[in-house]
Amino acid sequence: MRSLLLAALVSVALHVPADARTAGELLNDCEAFLRDVTFEGTAVRVAPNSRPCWDYMGAIGDMTTVVDANGRSLLGLCIPSGVRLTQSIRIFTGYARANPNMLHHNAVSRRIPASFPVRPEALMR
């Protein structure tokens, strides 16, 4: 029941235009994050202007655990286990910089999944 509710919330959230972020907007936020982030031991200090990237990518990472009845990610992406949020941000940023022609697309529907493609063997679980 809980996963069904979560899936419904994800579906609604992905279809609300006011909350849609382009890959370019997310790239700007994540570049600010990479520029301004500091580390103190295992703690990550996120500057206020970097918070949108940290929060957005964190939410996307959390949502990768939501799957359909066949075990497929509802977001259509696979972040490998063990990848830290800071690494995910670097991977997305690198992909977005290398593909500037895609920056006008919605970040979730097109660009983040391309940064973390689903491998065929992941579909066979």
Residue type, 92: F
Domain range summary for the chain, segments of one domain joined by +: 2-124
Summary mean pLDDT of the chain? 76
Residues of the chain scoring pLDDT < 50: 1, 4-18, 120-125
Contacts of 2 (CB under 8 A, 6+ apart): none
Contacts of 92 (CB under 8 A, 6+ apart): 26, 27, 30, 57, 111, 112, 115
Q: Residue 76: its pLDDT value, please?
A: 73
The pTM for the full model equals: 0.70
Q: Which tokens is 40 given?
A: 């103190």
